[in-house]
C-alpha cells in the first residue's frame, strides 16, 4: 500500500519485505543504504527530527502509524521525501492509516493512442482523468465514465495498473481518496474536448519524454501512476 499524505509518499510493507532490505543486492530493489534516516520503533520513539529525506521505520505497529500521522499534521515536513513503514502486521497498520480519514473511492485511466498518453491541464498542474465512483458503480465502469466525461474521448478499458491513496481536506473533513487506475486505449478522439465545469483547461497527447517533462508540474501520486504504467510496459 502506498499513501500520499501532503503529496509525500508513505509506503507500507510487511515484515518479509522489510527483512529483505538488509540483503538486497539488486540495483532495482531498495536497501538500507537508500535511506537517510532509519528508526526502529521497538527501540526508540518517532520524533519530528526524523522527518527528513527518505525515512525508514522498522517494526511499526498501529501506534507508530498514529504517531506518524500526528507528526505529519503538526510538524514541518518540507525536507521529507518519503516514508517506508516496515510493519509487524501490515493489515493492522493499513487500517490505522485509514482510521482518521473519510475514505472516498475513485477511478481513472492512463489513455494511450499511438504510443502517446492523454494528459489534462487543470488548476495549474498536469493531471490524469479520474473521479469519484457513483453508487453501485464498479471501478472499471467509473474509470471509463470519468475519462469519457472529462475528455470526450471514447475508450476501451484494459488491465488495472495500480491503486493509489491520497489525502486532502474538504469542508473541514480529512479525506483519503482511493483511486484505482486502468490502462485504456483511445477508440475515438475526434470530439476530444476538456470538461470546463471541472476546471480542465486543455488536453494533450504527449509522448513518453514529453509526459515525464510535463509531470514535473504535477502531483507525486500522478507521477507514481505513470511510472507504474511504464514499468508494466517494459515487463510486457
The CATH class of 102-235 is alpha beta
In the chain, residues under CATH classification 3.90.79.10 are: 102-235
pLDDT bucket at 94, cuts 50 / 70 / 90 = very high
The pLDDT assigned to 33 comes to 76
The pLDDT assigned to 29 comes to 54
The mean per-residue pLDDT over the stretch 115-128 comes to: 96
pLDDT bucket at 132, cuts 50 / 70 / 90 = very high
Q: In three state form, how does the secondary structure of the chain look?
A: CEEEECCEEEEEECHHHHHHHHHCCCCCCCCHHHCCEEEECCCCCCCHHHCCEEEEEEEECHHHHHHHHHHHHHCCCCCEEEEEEEECCHHHHHHHHHCCCEEEEEEEEEEEECCEEEEEEECCEEECCEEECCCCCCHHHHHHHHHHHHHCCEEEEEEEEEEEEEEEEECCEEEEEEEEEEEEEEEECCCCCCCHHHCEEEEEEECHHHHHHHHHHCCHHHHHHHHHHHHHHHHC
Residues 43-77: tens digit of each pLDDT: 999 999 999 999 999 999 999 999 999 999 898 99
The pLDDT assigned to 234 comes to 46
The pLDDT assigned to 27 comes to 46
For 2-6, 17-21, 66-70, 91-95, which range has the lowest pLDDT when averaged over its residues? 17-21
pLDDT bucket at 231, cuts 50 / 70 / 90 = confident
The pLDDT assigned to 18 comes to 86
- Indicate the average pLDDT of the chain: 91
Amino acid at each position: 500500500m502506498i499513501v500520499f499524505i501532503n503529496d509525500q509518499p508513505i509506503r507500507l510493507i510487511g515484515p518479509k519485505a522489510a527483512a529483505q532490505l538488509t540483503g538486497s543486492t539488486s540495483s532495482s530493489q531498495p536497501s538500507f543504504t537508500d535511506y537517510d534516516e532509519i528508526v526502529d520503533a521497538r527501540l526508540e520513539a518517532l520524533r519530528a527530527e526524523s522527518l527528513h529525506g527518505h525515512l525508514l521505520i522498522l517494526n511499526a505497529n498501529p501506534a507508530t502509524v498514529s504517531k506518524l500521522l500526528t507528526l505529519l499534521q503538526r510538524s514541518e515536513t518540507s525536507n521529507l521525501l518519503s516514508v517506508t513503514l516496515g510493519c509487524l502486521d501490515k493489515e493492522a497498520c493499513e487500517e490505522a492509516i485509514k482510521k482518521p480519514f473519510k475514505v472516498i473511492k475513485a477511478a481513472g485511466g492512463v489513455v494511450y493512442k499511438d504510443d502517446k498518453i492523454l494528459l489534462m491541464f487543470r488548476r495549474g498542474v498536469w493531471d490524469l482523468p479520474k473521479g469519484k465512483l457513483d453508487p453501485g458503480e464498479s471501478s472499471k465502469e467509473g474509470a471509463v465514465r470519468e475519462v469519457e466525461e472529462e475528455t470526450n474521448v471514447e475508450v476501451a478499458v484494459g488491465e488495472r495498473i495500480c491503486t493509489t491513496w491520497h489525502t486532502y481536506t474538504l469542508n473541514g473533513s480529512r479525506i483519503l481518496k482511493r483511486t484505482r487506475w486502468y490502462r485504456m486505449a483511445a477508440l475515438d478522439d475526434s470530439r476530444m474536448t476538456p470538461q470546463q465545469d471541472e476546471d480542465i483547461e486543455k488536453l494533450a497527447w504527449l509522448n513518453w519524454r514529453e509526459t515525464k517533462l510535463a509531470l514535473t508540474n504535477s502531483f507525486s501520486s500522478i507521477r507514481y501512476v505513470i511510472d507504474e504504467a511504464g514499468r508494466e510496459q517494459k515487463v510486457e
